[in-house]
Amino acid sequence: MSDRNFFLSPKASKARLREAENARRNRWDIIKAHSQGQVSRRDLIKMGLFTGAGLMIPISGLSPFARSVFADSNIPTGLPPSPLFGVQAFSTPMPRFDVLPRQPVSVLNPAPTAQANTTQQPVDPALGGGTGPIEGRPPGPIWAHQQFAQLPPVIAIQATMEGAKTNNVYNPGVPSLQNSGINPANPIPFKFHPGLPIQNVLKDWTYNGTIPPKLMMVRYGEPVLFRLRNRLPVNQSQNGGFGIHTISTHEHNGHHGAENDGFTGAFFFPNQFYDYHYPVVLAGRNSINTTATDNRASGPTDAGGLNKIAGDWHETMSTHWFHDHMFSFTAQNVYKGMAGMFNIYSGLDRGAEDINDGVNLRLPSGRASVSGKSWGNLDYDVNLMIAEKAWDANGQLAMDIFEFDGFLGDQMTVNLTFKPFMEVERRKYRFRILNGSVSRFFKIALSDGSPMIQIANDGNLFPHPVVLTQLDEQGIAERYDIVIDFSRYSVGQKVWMVNLAEHQDGKKVDKDLSIAEALSGNSSDPCVGKFLEFRIARNPAQPDISQVPSTMIPNPDLSAIPVARERVFEFNRGAGQTTNDPVTTFFGPWGIKTDNQGGTLAADYGRVSAAPRFGTREIWTLRNGGGGWDHPIHIHFEECQTLARDGSAANVPAWERGRKDVWRLRPGGEVKITLQFRDFGGMFMEHCHNTMHEDNAMLLRWEIDDLGGPFLRPLPTPIPKPQGVTFIPPDDILPTAL
Amino acid sequence: MNTQLNIKTRRRRFSPIVVTLLVGVAAVLVLGNPSVQAQTTTAAGASTVDSSITIATSGTVSDPNGAITVSGSVIIKCRRVIDTTSTTIPPLVLLDFDLSQVKGTTGSGKTLKTYVTGDNHATALRPFQASDTIVVTIPYFDSTKDILSASAFLVTATVNFDISTGKLTSGSLTYGTNIFSSSGVGTFTPAM
């Protein structure tokens, strides 16, 4: 057992626990003041509380990580453990996701518009007063919804962003029997477990302000308008100590125009809305299968048929998620609860296992003949959002925003419920597993070492399924779709999902444990071991006819597409900043060096680091510049293929040979990928999805700006204000960008 | 850890007698000297040493169809990583066990069955030390069936390193019956 840990053991001495709690409270005052804009990091440096690199100096009595007077050695102490109020693990059912209603677009008032709706409204004095636009999307043609006339929204999905409240309209999308007996008619107070305290309205901010987390269900060929209304407090100090009330939602990893991508600098304010247009199209729609003749390039129709669409069926995606992407505040806002999942249904993956049309892969989901739903059956298709949390002595969500190496919680949650159980039948289930943590990696196995079939990575079904007994490490934002066959168990048995990845801090996994080690209870990491209990409750009412075909979705063949150029991005600690715009810049310690030129740069969303030509393909190398940390790197917009790891194609494991959008670089590691730039344009991002690294400030902007129309090369940078978005020229354009 | 005492073996096809006979019998044979390859690189903030060994293995695991004789080469790749920007971050190793060449058989003649592990790799990140033991379960399935029929057996790998160079120098593998198949399963009383 290690003695270098993020959290103190509950068995630590009372004096040591008290010392850590006092330090956390003292530190909390600084965190709160900083999060509320009362003091900047520059101010903290002047006060001697921060180093020039942006690190908080571990002063005893101020930092839980300062050396303890009660410690046996010069070892940092750690945070006090989250109290459990007598709650036991696996004593409450896991709620399925809460499906957001799909409505006709006609319900939207005002009606959506291609360009941002700049109708004026009064602005609250706390936000500067005057008037401002009702929609926070940057105005004008550059930020207009691309191809809005060709792909008009058919379905409206609406949500609010607001503080924690009771859910009175829970829709799990499945009968109670398939939701571990949860009666959706019962109100659901915002608690991580029925035995834990109700969360304060300012501590947790989620879509619609409620739990369980939300699920959007969409299908190819049916464009969606997602209207998000910001109902967070206008007063920035009303944030519960962390988080910010300006927001931007990224649909991870949608193939659509940048105006819908949740660009980090396209945030909007309380009392505004933002219309995200998700056309739900296949990549290559303007160059491949343009006449929509291929059955495999399709969405499911209500009648059980196929709605053929343009594009490359090899680019079909399935499991996405959506989350806040506010510049420098993504970690805080996502940790507060701004995350949901996004299932895309297609002819290939339609979520109806009994439709045998020669296209449908018939993956575990449910029967159309039973539910009456020809697509999107969730009975045996389960979204899991795994994220660890921490709470204070009062049971309220707690976070330390100054842990720039990475923040870890000490209590595992699944679908925002503390260590729940799930009742399952003796048959195959599909699980769409999202790592929704801030900084923690997971490595998942079943407690009995049984095989699991991995079928997708980051929402992309594999060319061929892969059988594993323990999944690879799963970085933040990665999605692993797996199939577990519970028919191997008897009714009355139970088995657990187990986390094998042991952390000591938020930099990286410290050690991958064996199942025996993880189950021994000896790990100093409180999030190692069992976190989800499966109870084999009954036999299925109908035979399991679902399938896991040996061939699913082959990779797109890019061999005929020339490589226009190569770029290298190195992810380092010790970044510098060359610009000083007060809105668009932030400073380290993290940053990215581009094309081996100059130094490592901290984030500035006004800087153009790369501008690939529209219609081309490139090869990008993503390099970890250090050996003491890992980075899950995310590239927005287009799914990529992994060409090599650490210089060799042979090092790419079977589960990474499909398409991906997040790569764990691994300590001292390197990944080479290839991607295309097509169909849409605008400014996108590339960043570490350890969101503490991302926010401080391992993020860059790249853009597709040469596709004509309203686009300018380079694109002007949006500067959002409650009174309206203005534009400024880029702060910086790297020499190799264009 | 599961504290349920009245645990039933989850698969009938694992005969308790067979398991009893074969646990501990599962053998390791490291045939000859492992081949070792190594390469060192240094990046801005990391020093890495890549090395690999190939070992010929054999052993026995239990299965409802009888004892499976397992054999095949296992390639163990190792990357030792040192962070050169910090003296407080301990070195680590990234290990990759390529078990794709491991095969098993039962019976003979017309009753011969062949088992494969698929394209299987096991990976582990571990602190760097002179010797380490890693225990993983590995799926295997009848080569005439699909992967949904897979079961798992146990692999216990011992790997040895040269502390000064960071290179993987030798290793051995033991195959055995998956001990977690019963210990990792609990019981409850379903609602009627």
d(CA A113, CA A45): 46
Q: How far apart are CA A501 and CA A498, in angstroms?
A: 9
Mean pLDDT on A611-639: 97
Nearest CA distance, A492 vs chain B (angstrom): 5
Domains along chain A with CATH numbers? 1-81 (no CATH), 563-733 (2.60.40.420)
Looking at the complex, report in whole angstroms how far the Cα of residue B187 sits from the nearest Cα belonging to chain A: 4
Do residues A164 and A201 touch, judged by C-beta distance below 8 A? yes
Which residue of A2, A450, A498 is the best one to mutate when testing the B interface, meaning the one whose CB has the most B CBs within 10 A? Answer: A450
Query: C-alpha distances in angstroms, A588 versus A35, A166, A402, A456?
Result: 17, 38, 12, 34
Residue A516 gets which letter from DSSP?
H
* Torsion (CA) A497, A500, A501, A505 in degrees, nearest 10: 90
**Alpha carbon distance B53, B78 (integer Å):** 9
Which residues on chain B are in Cβ contact (under 8 Å) with A67? none
pLDDT digits (tens, 9 = 90+) for A2-38: 445 677 777 777 777 777 777 667 666 776 677 667 6
Is B54 part of the contact surface with chain A (CB cutoff 8 Å)? Answer: no
pLDDT computed for residue A2 by the predictor:
45
Confidence of residue B65 (pLDDT cuts 50, 70, 90): confident
Would the CB atoms of A625 and B44 count as touching at under 8 Å?
yes
Residues in B closer than 8 angstroms to A523, CB to CB, are none
* A445–B119 C-beta distance less than 8 A: no
Query: Does residue B137 contact residue A469 with C-beta atoms inside 8 Å?
Result: yes
Q: Residue A56: pLDDT band by 50, 70, 90 thresholds?
A: low
Q: Which residue of B has its CA nearest to A549?
A: B146
**Which among A514, A573, A600, A629 is the top mutation candidate for probing chain B, defined by the most B β-carbons within 10 Å of its own β-carbon?**
A514
Decide if B184 and A453 are in contact by the 8 Å CB cutoff: no
What pLDDT was estimated at residue B191? 85
Q: Cβ B45–A493 below 8 Å, yes or no?
A: no
Of the candidates A321, A307, A464, A470, the residue with the CA atom closest to the CA atom of residue A386: A321
Which is more confident, A206 or A63? A206
pLDDT recorded at residue A66 = 53
A548/B contact by beta carbon, under 8 A: yes
Inter-chain residue contact A468 with B123, CB threshold 8 Å: no
Cis peptide upstream of residue A258 (ω within 30 degrees of 0): no
Residues in chain A: 738
pLDDT tens string B109-163: 999 999 999 888 999 999 999 999 999 999 999 999 999 999 999 999 999 999 9
Q: How far apart are CA A704 and CA A564, in angstroms?
A: 14
Q: CB-based contact (8 Å) between A649 and chain B? A: no
Q: Given a cut of 90, is residue A39 above it in pLDDT?
A: no
CB-CB under 8 Å, B188 with A492: yes
> So what's the pLDDT on residue A277?
98
- Can you count the helices (H) and strands (E) in chain A? 6, 41
Confidence of residue A55 (pLDDT cuts 50, 70, 90): low
The verdict on B24 touching A (C-beta cutoff 8 Å) is: no
Chain A: nearest CA to B110, how far in angstroms? 27
The helix (H) or strand (E) run that includes residue A416 is none
Q: What are the tens digits of pLDDT across the range A262-295?
A: 999 999 999 999 999 999 999 999 999 999 999 9
- CB-CB neighbors (< 8 A) of A485 in chain B: 148
**B83 and A626 in contact by Cβ < 8 A?**
yes
Contact (Cβ atoms closer than 8 angstroms) between residue A655 and residue A454: yes
Cβ burial A314-332 (10 Å sphere, 16+ → b, else e)? bbbbbbbbbbbbbbbbbbb
What's residue A64's pLDDT?
56
* Prediction pTM value: 0.93
Say whether A419 sits in a helix, a strand or coil: coil
Which of A624, A569, A631 lies closest to A439 in space, CA to CA? A631
Contact A529 B1 (CB under 8 A): yes
pLDDT at A714: 96
Contact A519 B1 (CB under 8 A): yes
Contacts of A538 in chain B (CB under 8 A): 190
CA A262 to chain CA centroid, Å, is 12
Query: Best residue in A427, A448, A530, A531 to probe B by mutation, most B CBs within 10 Å?
Result: A448
What pLDDT score was predicted for residue A58?
A: 57
User: Which tens digit of pLDDT belongs to each residue from A472-507?
Assistant: 999 999 999 999 999 999 999 999 999 999 999 999
Is A507 buried (19+), middle (13-18) or exposed (0-12) by CB count in 10 A?
buried
pLDDT tens per residue across span A291-333: 999 999 999 999 999 999 999 999 999 999 999 999 999 999 9
pLDDT beyond 60 at A602: yes
Q: Where are the domains of chain B?
A: 16-183
Q: Which of residues 19-38 of A touch B (CB under 8 A)?
A: none
Q: Does A431 touch chain B (CB under 8 A)?
A: no
- Once rounded to an integer, what is the mean pLDDT over residues A497-522? 96
Q: Which amino acid is at A525?
A: D
Residues A91, A533: Cα–Cα separation, whole Å: 10
* pLDDT tens profile A202-229: 999 999 999 999 999 999 999 999 999 9
Q: State the pLDDT confidence band at A524, using cuts at 50, 70 and 90.
A: very high
Do residue B139 and residue A548 have CB atoms under 8 angstroms apart? no
Chain A contacts in chain B segment 73-132 (CB below 8 A): 77, 79, 81-86, 89, 91-92, 94, 96, 118-127
pLDDT at B25: 35
Q: How many CB pairs under 8 A join A and B?
A: 189
B149 interfacial to chain A (CB closer than 8 Å): no
Which residue, A293, A318, A325, is CA-closest to A306? A293
Q: Which residues of A touch B178 (CB under 8 A)?
A: 448-449
User: Cβ contact (<8 Å) for B137 and A495?
Assistant: no
- Closest-CA distance of chain B to residue A115, Å: 46
- Give the nearest partner residue to B184 out of A491, A492, A495, using CB atoms: A495
CB A479 within 8 A of CB A471: no
